Amino acid sequence: MQLRKLFQSSVCALALSIAMPSQAQSTFKLPDLGTSAVQVLPIDKEKAIGEIMMMQIRSGSKLVQDPVLDEYLSTLGNKLVANANDVRFPFSFFWIDNKDINAFAFYGGHVGVHTGLMAQADNESQFASVLGHEIAHVTQRHLARRIQQAKDNSALTIAGMITGILATVIAPDAGMAILSASSTQSALSQLTHSRKAEQEADRFGMQTLYNAGFDPHASSEFLSKLAAQVRFKNKAPVFLMSHPLPDSRVSDVRLRAQQYEQRYVPKSHQFQLAKSRVIARYQLEGESAQAYFEQALKHSSDLDKSALEYGLAITYLDQKKLDQAQTVMDKLLSAEPNNLFYLDVYTDLLLAKKDYNGITKLLGEKHQLRPNNQVITLNYANVALKSEQYELAEQLLKVFLLEKPDHVLARQLLTDTYKKMDAKASYHESQASLLSHYGAFMRAADEIQKALNHVEKDETVRRLRLKALLSQYRDMQKELAKL
């Protein structure tokens, strides 16, 4: 779905006007952490800290809002979580548009993955090994232990520590600079996982990887690949700045993998498609991307040829070479008519050709078979919006948001739909919800006040609900101001 430019421009506009980011919640309460009295970090407080950090990431980072990649990552991530030990709460997985090799996890089960990690992984087991490692950091509560270890350090506040960890896991260079400039060496030591924590994450992550049906030897393969980059580059991969890699670690992981039986894992078609999409959309662009896939196709095996053709079709589409893209996509979709990767690009192709009837018919049929699937539903709603079928778009998005109320892209589409419909009360309410995802609670409250100005006098229930939201947003702003 080619909504990236629309979404990113909206986010940039929001970020300029937001002092403290957040997400919309029906209830919101900051944990009373203090600065030196934390003996044990309870699960509810850990989740609250995670929400605060996710708020900041949503406002300040270049997130990838791509339903197809989200679907792939969430499916893979939750498969690993289902096979992990000590899981205390649901996990959420998200992409960051960044070419560096990196992944990170933090309080409350949030796992961020750079697109560069997917581009550099050779197979799904390697990619999954990193996710399993990050999941283990959460389940073993390594970050929670950092707060406990810092409780007696008067120079390090809890709020400062959250900020430092957040900066470090996303941009280690910046994070190190922030903490080294304003804190002690003791505080600085909190920013990287200890050797013991890495060993634990390696051990539990490998067990999770094996339980989920992947090759445990992939862990040592990927670490060896990173170690090679350290030898041949002046700057180490970002992942290694927050995940230390002493010489012994690769050997330890290799020896641990030998304790598991050798496992053959067939190539994952979904992984290959996701990798092609990442390379075409987030690593390379234009003629460079096209040349990459054309060259790769000359040397490919039959197993990954369709994935490379898919990547090539994306490059054709992005360069407005619509006829060439159509030739490739007709072939691919004919072979796999229900493939979500193909349906998404085919939707973009027909939208580019303004063939609204054709894509509405196709997606309507697919939606009946897979109602509320995010790839099909959001594409279908986007087509309905562009073809001025506003009531259809509204219906699709409202039902979808009942299941996934925090889905920002769906909320953006619904806000745009209400604007096109000139439904002023609904537009301002939806805009308030969208703003609250980024922590602009005062602006969200202003939008609710505007919505109230457009509610009819006889809409008593709606008026009461909006007044309750107005009070809620103001309370949220007060809670955030406590930090």
Selected catalytic residue, list 100, 202, 304, 348: 202
Q: What one-letter code names the amino acid at 215?
A: D
Distance (Å, whole) CA 226 – CA 67:
29
Euclidean distance between CA atoms 120 and 1, whole angstroms: 23
- The reply, when asked if residue 137 is annotated as ligand binding, is yes
Query: Rounded CA gap, 166 and 324, in Å?
Result: 44
Q: Cα(122)–Cα(480) distance, rounded to whole angstroms?
A: 42
For the record, the structure tokens of 364 come out as 């309507």
CB 302 within 8 A of CB 266: no
Has 429 been labeled as part of a binding site? no
Tally of CB atoms within 10 A around 33: 20
Q: Which of 46, 71, 97, 134 is catalytic?
A: 134
Q: Is 133 annotated as a binding residue?
A: yes
Cα 56 to Cα 51, 169, 242: the distances in Å are 9, 13, 19
**HEC-encoded secondary structure of the chain:** CCCHHHHHHHHHHHHHCCCCCCCCCCCCCCCCCCCCCCCCCCHHHHHHHHHHHHHHHHHHCCECCCHHHHHHHHHHHHHHHCCCCCCCCCCEEEEECCCCCCEEEECCCEEEEEHHHHHHCCCHHHHHHHHHHHHHHHHCCHHHHHHHHCCCCCCCCHHHHHHHHHHHHHCHHHHHHHHHHHCCHHHHHHHCCCHHHHHHHHHHHHHHHHHCCCCCHHHHHHHHHHHHHHHHCCCCCHHHHHCCCCHHHHHHHHHHHCCCCCCCCCCCHHHHHHHHHHHHHHHCCHHHHHHHHHHHHHCCCCCCHHHHHHHHHHHHHHCCCHHHHHHHHHHHHHHCCCCHHHHHHHHHHHHHCCCHHHHHHHHHHHHHHCCCCHHHHHHHHHHHHHCCCHHHHHHHHHHHHHHCCCCHHHHHHHHHHHHHHCCHHHHHHHHHHHHHCCCCHHHHHHHHHHHHHCCCCCCHHHHHHHHHHHHHHHHHHHHHHCC
Known active-site residue 134: yes
Residue 198: closest CA among 253, 237, 148:
253
Catalytic residues: 134, 202
- For the annotated binding site, the residues are 133, 137, 198
- For the annotated binding site for Zn(2+), the residues are 133, 137, 198
